[in-house]
Chain A
Amino acid sequence: MRDFSHLDIVFALLWAARWTLLLSIIAFVCGGAVGFLLMLMRISPLRPLRYISWAYLEIVQGTPLLIQFLLAFFGISILGIEISPWMSAALALTTFTSAFLGDIWRGSVDSIPVGQWEASKALSMTYAQQLGLVILPQAVRRSIAPTVGFLVQVVKGTSLASAIGFVELARSATNITNVTFEPFFVYLVTAVVYFGICFPISVFSRKLEKSLAY
């Protein structure tokens, strides 16, 4: 049997981090798209749309991410669809991301003074024009910093995909521990790798917050 040096462990963990990054990117992109729709529904003049969006946000934000992963993996199969850990991890994380991003963006749109809506309406703009030309450009500026900050939550969230057997960074750490019996070193390095991904994002988000402040 082959022995693992500490350097081997570090490289194996760094290599495993690519799945963490890939899953984060997929969730962020797909979650962003769904989140944008949710935000549109939440601020729409149509009451049923607002209620649906509100219920979605409350339910997703009220359930643990771990349960969402388990539901996406074990629960979907009752529809008769075979779902891979990959697909279910992406699905669960997209759901989670969309709910939070939808809420963050709704907050930024709400923070735009109502006079802006009224002024653009007075210029006889259509709803789409009011939103697209006047409100969103201002709201985007306010939402950038919290959006980047939320990316940290997404990266950390990917670690729970390990519970459904998706081999990303946290799962690799457990697998390596089972072989090397060095939990202290392995989990420490794992934490450092996560920190190396998340900390720069946090710092960047705080910088944005300062530079974009009015």
Chain B
Amino acid sequence: MTYRFQFQVIWENWDLLLEGVGLTLQLSALAIVLGLAIGVVGALCRISDNGYLSMLATAYVEAIRNTPFLVQLLFIFFGISSLGPRLGSFQAALLALTINFGAYATEIIRAGIQSVEQSQIEAGMSLGLNRRQVFRLVVLKPAVATVYPALTSQMVLLLLLSSVVSQISTRELTFMGNFLRSRTFRDFEVYITLALIYVILALGFKLLAQLCHRRLFVFTRYI
């Protein structure tokens, strides 16, 4: 028996998949922005002289990096909800993705900040910049420029990881695919299409990241 491929179901339901892509991108973008904020704060905590703060940040990073995202997600969605505040699947998904990305971002940004030499900071101070300006312009920006490749590949991983939130019925791309499969039974066609869409999204994001790198870090050309 030979198998007949029928990609028709994909064309007929393209709006469903597009809606899924929309939510996948929305979730990823929000998690990246919020996670980066956590990352900067977390990195500052990790390198701070306050022992409690740095221990707290280390515990956060290690706890998240050494447990599967699926368990984190289920813990937040079912575990936390069972105790009190009821989270919707979108909120739980966003929260889990943000917490997850925040931990990786913390570690990456910390590495970047520690790569900035002390003499740079002193030079900034002697130019009359205040502490805030020194942190923003002399420490953070070059730090992010240094770890930019690691940071963007972590973002791609986040984009791919967001497929897991289909497990708590967030209506993103993978959920839509599962839905389509259960209605049409065209297993292979649906999943190969999903794989293709994810590859395109990942490659597109990588391209975008490279373009941004040129615009964001013009100064690196002079170093």
Q: How many A-B residue pairs have CB under 8 A?
A: 128
B166 to chain A, nearest CB (A): 7
B172 to chain A, nearest CB (A): 11
Please name all residues of chain A whose beta carbon is closer than 8 Å to the beta carbon of B191 when the two chains form the complex: 67, 70-71, 74-75
Determine the distance from Cα of A184 to Cα of B84 in the docked complex, in whole angstroms: 11
Q: Is the CB of B79 within 8 A of A188?
A: yes
Q: Is the CB of A66 within 8 A of B66?
A: no
Q: Is the CB of A173 within 8 A of B74?
A: yes
Please name all residues of chain B whose beta carbon is closer than 8 Å to the beta carbon of A162 when the two chains form the complex: 70
Q: Is the CB of A79 within 8 A of B163?
A: no
CB contact under 8 A between A159 and B71, given known A75-B192, A79-B3, A198-B66: yes
Check B116 for interface membership: any CB of A closer than 8 A. Answer: no
Determine the distance from Cα of A191 to Cα of B64 in the docked complex, in whole angstroms: 9
CB contact under 8 A between A174 and B198, given known A64-B163, A199-B62: no
CB contact under 8 A between A77 and B79, given known A62-B202, A64-B160, A64-B164: no
Look across to chain B and name the residue whose beta carbon is closest to the beta carbon of A159: B68
B2 to chain A, nearest CB (A): 9
Look across to chain A and name the residue whose beta carbon is closest to the beta carbon of B190: A74
Q: Is the CB of B67 within 8 A of A191?
A: yes
Determine the distance from Cα of A198 to Cα of B203 in the docked complex, in whole angstroms: 30
Of the four ranges (under 10, 10 to 19, 20 to 34, 35 or more), the interface on chain B belongs to 35 or more
CB contact under 8 A between A183 and B74, given known A71-B191, A160-B164: yes
Check A78 for interface membership: any CB of B closer than 8 A. Answer: yes
Q: Is the CB of A202 within 8 A of B66?
A: yes
Q: Is the CB of A187 within 8 A of B164?
A: no
Of the four ranges (under 10, 10 to 19, 20 to 34, 35 or more), the interface on chain A belongs to 35 or more
Please name all residues of chain B whose beta carbon is closer than 8 Å to the beta carbon of A63 when the two chains form the complex: 160, 195, 198-199, 202
Q: Is the CB of A74 within 8 A of B83?
A: no
CB contact under 8 A between A75 and B187, given known A66-B166, A184-B80: yes
Look across to chain A and name the residue whose beta carbon is closest to the beta carbon of B205: A62
Please name all residues of chain B whose beta carbon is closer than 8 Å to the beta carbon of A174 when the two chains form the complex: 74
B6 to chain A, nearest CB (A): 11
Q: Is the CB of A66 within 8 A of B192?
A: no
- Main secondary structure, interface of A, reads helix
Determine the distance from Cα of A140 to Cα of B181 in the docked complex, in whole angstroms: 44
Please name all residues of chain B whose beta carbon is closer than 8 Å to the beta carbon of A59 when the two chains form the complex: 195, 199
- Chain B stretch 1-38: residues in CB contact (< 8 A) with chain A: 1, 3
Partner of B66 from A159, A173, A195 at Cβ < 8 Å: A195
**Interface 0/1 of B140-173, CB less than 8 Å to A:** 0000000000000000100011111011000000
Q: Is the CB of B70 within 8 A of A67?
A: no
Check A138 for interface membership: any CB of B closer than 8 A. Answer: no
Determine the distance from Cα of A170 to Cα of B74 in the docked complex, in whole angstroms: 9
Look across to chain A and name the residue whose beta carbon is closest to the beta carbon of B199: A62
Determine the distance from Cα of A190 to Cα of B70 in the docked complex, in whole angstroms: 11
Known: A152-B66, A181-B82, A190-B71. 13 other contacts (CB 8 A): A62-B202, A64-B174, A74-B188, A78-B187, A80-B1, A160-B68, A183-B82, A187-B75, A188-B79, A190-B75, A191-B75, A202-B62, A202-B66
